[in-house]
Amino acid sequence: MTVTCFGELLIRLTPPGRRLLAQADTLDLAVGGAEANVAAALASLGHDVRFCGIVSDNVLGDRAVAELRRAGVDISTLARAPGRMGLYFLEAGAGARPSAIAYDRAGSAFAEAEPAAMDFAAALRGARLLHTGGITPALGPRGIALARAANAAAKAAGVPICFDGNYRGALWSAWDSDPRSALSALVDDATILIGNHRDISLLLGRSFSGDGPDRRREAAEAAFDAFPQLQLIASTARQLVTADHHRISARVDSRAGAHQTDEIAITGIVERIGTGDAFAAGVLDGWLAGGDLARMATTGLALGALKHSLPGDSAPITRAMVDAFSAHGGDVRR
The predicted model gives 236-264 an average pLDDT of 94
Report residue 291's pLDDT band, with 50, 70 and 90 as the boundaries: confident
Q: What's the confidence (pLDDT) of residue 244? A: 87
Q: What's the confidence (pLDDT) of residue 332? A: 40
The predicted model gives 295-316 an average pLDDT of 95
Report the chain's mean pLDDT, rounded to a whole number. Answer: 94
The predicted model gives 1-13 an average pLDDT of 96
Q: What's the confidence (pLDDT) of residue 98? A: 86
Contact 128, 27 (CB under 8 A): no
Percent of the chain beyond pLDDT 90?
88
* CATH superfamily of this structure's domain 2-323: Ribokinase (3.40.1190.20)
The predicted model gives 308-333 an average pLDDT of 80
pLDDT tops 60 at residue 156: yes
Q: What's the confidence (pLDDT) of residue 331? A: 44
Counted residue by residue, the chain has a size of 334
Nearest Cα to Cα of residue 275 among 246, 253, 233 = 246
- Of 88-102, 142-156, 251-265, least confident by mean pLDDT is 88-102
Contact 131, 38 (CB under 8 A): yes
The predicted model gives 291-300 an average pLDDT of 94
The predicted model gives 105-112 an average pLDDT of 96
Each as own residue / partner, the long-range contacts of residues 153-156 (CB below 8 Å, 24 or more positions apart, any chain) are 153/120, 153/121, 153/123, 153/124, 154/120, 154/124, 154/127, 154/130, 154/189, 155/189, 156/121
Neighbouring CB atoms inside 10 A of 188's CB total: 16
pLDDT in tens, 88-98: 999 998 888 88
pLDDT tops 70 at residue 190: yes
- Of 125-139, 188-202, 220-234, 319-333, least confident by mean pLDDT is 319-333
Report residue 327's pLDDT band, with 50, 70 and 90 as the boundaries: low
pLDDT tops 70 at residue 218: yes
Report residue 334's pLDDT band, with 50, 70 and 90 as the boundaries: very low
pLDDT tops 70 at residue 191: yes
pTM listed for this prediction = 0.95
pLDDT tops 70 at residue 329: no
What secondary structure letter does DSSP report for 268? S
Report residue 292's pLDDT band, with 50, 70 and 90 as the boundaries: very high
pLDDT in tens, 192-209: 999 999 999 999 999 998
The predicted model gives 85-109 an average pLDDT of 92
What is the three-class DSSP state of 284? Answer: helix
Q: Give residues with Cβ within 8 angstroms of 173, minimum separation 6.
A: none
SS3 sequence of 108-132: ECCCCCCHHHCCHHHHHCCEEEEEE
Helical H runs in the chain?
34-44, 59-71, 120-124, 135-138, 141-157, 169-172, 179-187, 197-204, 212-226, 275-288, 293-307, 319-323
pLDDT in tens, 18-60: 999 999 999 999 999 999 999 999 999 999 999 999 999 999 9
